[in-house]
């Protein structure tokens, strides 16, 4: 073990004092490389106090001051893409090009935040009544907290804090304890950009830290991204404590392939979206629904492509897919493949026994690509979010049957339709119950100026994240009704009637 990761509070590194530490492994070697401080409730309180103190001035800072800092941060982030990607690869395990993609998608939200001036313009109606004007303005909510998952240790925090601080809030981030380092690099860059101390804080930790944030009286809002059971818990607990909360959960994303689709394009998309980042993406395609007679040909094309994917360490530029986050998770993913045949699936590819042969990597969290065909909806591999490189193919006779299957899923994050028929695609986009829809696009993650979020068990709360929803989540509306009498007006006199 060579490294210790501490908290970032009030603009500087603050050493962990709880005595509790979490191990961080390099997924490609299985070696514990780092220990991360796990915060006590008192350490969380220190971070919230720093954020509360900073809000006194940041909450009323000028838009020009905020955007000047954000533009500098954007330039620093751009210059440090590689450095952040290296930290992601070392602790998450994804391949370097994929880590760079993650940083790029996070940077998009910084772009949005740099343009916050236009988002916070408010609305004005003049002369709604005689000499009466009405203005709608938005003000920051105060101290807000972000709790984030392991799978995008740079991007998901950037879905939250750029918009939050641009709107005048101060922020406490509780990143995943499995890959904590990218968040600290981001904190350092924000400080270098001139962000005042205490506006952005990082406390590392586990349930102890999260629970304190959920109950802390000085935290006004909670943004959460992670698995569905924890998202549900966060939403219930934070709501009961009077906070506004957006809690994004897990997923099972379906791709509907209609009989007229370009099957080569569909197979390319299915393989990219199912196995990219070893399936550890909330927008991964984990279920393909083949409609009509295309199933056999499509499965054959997916198989041919999947067999060519090169698995290896994320820092090897020839690797296309890296290892899984932990050995425990690898074993859990493998168990779904082991149980698949007994549940009625046809196992076309079984990657559960794969290991990477490179010296020093024997204990990495390796797994190969698995492909299951004729998967019944009762199979655990279909019902659960596996979060690994396992693709299920289901068959449907008709569009209606395929749509009904997708809409019966408790999840509703992303979905995609592959077809050459615009009418069918339009019908799908209107009828499918999911928050993000791709038409011949397998991973329809919205750009920064639209909002990201699922339906059903994929999101608890009313607001999606970033975009206009993000601005609304991190601000409170206020409506100001003003009358300025003309100097020539006679007094209006007393009127006990309700104002009309
Ligand atoms: P997770 O739910 O285990 O952890 C997320 C966060 O919650 C972490 O910071 C963790 O420390 C904390 N946490 C874990 N258990 C907790 C508990 N019992 N009480 C309080 N806090 C707790 O998720 P993960 O394994 O880190 O990430 C993978 C999951 O995140 C997948 O389900 C994936 O679909 C989901 N995800 C969803 C989206 C989305 O936008 N909907 C995006 C990325 C990831």
The pLDDT tens digits of the residues spanning 208-254 come to 999 999 999 999 999 999 999 999 999 999 999 999 999 999 999 99
Residue nearest to atom 18 of ligand 1 (CA): 207
Domain ranges (residues) in the chain: 3-250+454-480, 253-439
- pLDDT beneath 50: ranges in the chain: none
Nearest CA among 205, 167, 163, 200 for reference residue 185: 200
Pocket test for ligand 1, best of 36, 39, 109, 227 (most atoms within 8 A of CB): 227
Give me the active site residues, please: 282
Q: What pLDDT is attached to residue 1?
A: 63
Tell me which fold the domain 253-439 belongs to.
Aldehyde Dehydrogenase; Chain A, domain 2 (3.40.309)
Give the tens place of pLDDT for each residue, 280-336: 999 999 999 999 999 999 999 999 999 999 999 999 999 999 999 999 999 999 999
**Ligand 1 atom nearest to 148, measured from its CA:** 9
Contact between residue 146 and residue 485 where contact means Cβ atoms under 8 Å apart: no
- Quick one: tokens of 78? 């751009």
Does domain 3-250+454-480 bear CATH number 3.40.50.720?
no
Coil, strand or helix: which one is 270?
helix
CA atoms of 87 and 33, how far apart (whole Å):
12
Tell me, in angstroms, the distance from the centre of ligand 1 to residue 171's CA: 19
- Quick one: tokens of 268? 């390319």
Q: What pLDDT is attached to residue 491?
A: 84
> What is the CB neighbour count within 10 angstroms for residue 283?
21
């Amino acid at each position: 073990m060579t490294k210790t990761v501490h908290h970032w509070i009030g603009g500087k590194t603050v050493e962990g004092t709880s005595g509790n530490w979490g191990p961080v492994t390099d997924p490609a070697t299985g070696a514990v490389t780092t220990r991360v401080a796990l915060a006590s409730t008192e350490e969380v309180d220190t971070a919230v106090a720093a954020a509360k103190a900073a809000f006194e001035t940041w909450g009323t800072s000028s838009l020009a001051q905020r955007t000047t800092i954000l533009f500098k941060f954007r330039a620093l982030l751009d210059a440090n893409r590689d450095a952040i990607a290296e930290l992601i690869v070392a602790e998450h395990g994804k391949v370097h090009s994929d880590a760079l993609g993650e940083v790029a998608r996070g940077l998009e939200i910084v772009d949005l935040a740099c343009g916050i001036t236009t988002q916070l313009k408010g609305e004005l109606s003049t002369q709604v009544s005689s000499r009466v004007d009405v203005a709608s303005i938005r003000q920051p909510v105060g101290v807000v907290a972000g709790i984030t998952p392991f799978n995008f240790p740079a991007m998901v925090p950037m879905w939250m804090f750029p918009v939050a601080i641009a709107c005048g809030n101060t922020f406490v981030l509780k990143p995943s304890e499995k890959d904590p380092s990218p968040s600290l690099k981001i904190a350092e860059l924000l400080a270098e950009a001139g962000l005042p101390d205490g506006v952005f804080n990082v406390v590392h930790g586990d349930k102890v830290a999260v629970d304190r944030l959920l109950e802390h009286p000085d935290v006004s809002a909670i943004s959460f991204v992670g698995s569905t059971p924890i998202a549900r818990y966060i939403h219930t607990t934070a709501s009961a404590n009077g906070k506004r909360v957006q809690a994004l959960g897990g997923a099972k994303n379906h791709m509907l392939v209609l009989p007229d689709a370009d099957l080569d394009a569909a197979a390319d998309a299915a393989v990219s979206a199912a196995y990219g980042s070893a399936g550890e993406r909330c927008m991964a395609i984990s279920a393909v629904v083949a409609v009509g007679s295309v199933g056999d040909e499509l499965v054959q094309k997916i198989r041919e492509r999947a067999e060519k994917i090169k698995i290896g360490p994320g820092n090897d530029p020839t690797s296309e897919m890296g290892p899984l986050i932990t050995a425990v998770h690898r074993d859990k993913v493998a168990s779904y493949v082991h149980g698949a045949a007994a549940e009625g699936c046809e196992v076309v590819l079984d990657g559960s026994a794969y290991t990477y042969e490179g010296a020093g990597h024997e204990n990495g969290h390796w797994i190969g690509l698995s492909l299951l065909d004729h998967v019944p909806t009762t199979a655990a591999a279909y019902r659960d979010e596996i979060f690994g490189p396992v693709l299920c193919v289901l068959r449907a006779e008709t569009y209606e049957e395929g749509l009904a299957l997708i809409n019966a899923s408790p999840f509703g994050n992303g979905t995609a339709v592959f077809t050459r028929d615009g009418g069918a695609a339009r019908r799908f986009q209107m009828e499918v119950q999911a928050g993000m829809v791709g038409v011949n696009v397998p991973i329809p993650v919205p750009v920064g100026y639209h909002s990201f979020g699922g339906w059903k068990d994929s999101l608890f709360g009313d607001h999606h994240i970033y975009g206009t929803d993000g601005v609304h989540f991190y601000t409170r509306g206020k409506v100001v009704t003003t009358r300025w009498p003309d100097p020539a007006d006679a007094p209006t006199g007393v009127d006990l009637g309700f104002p009309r």
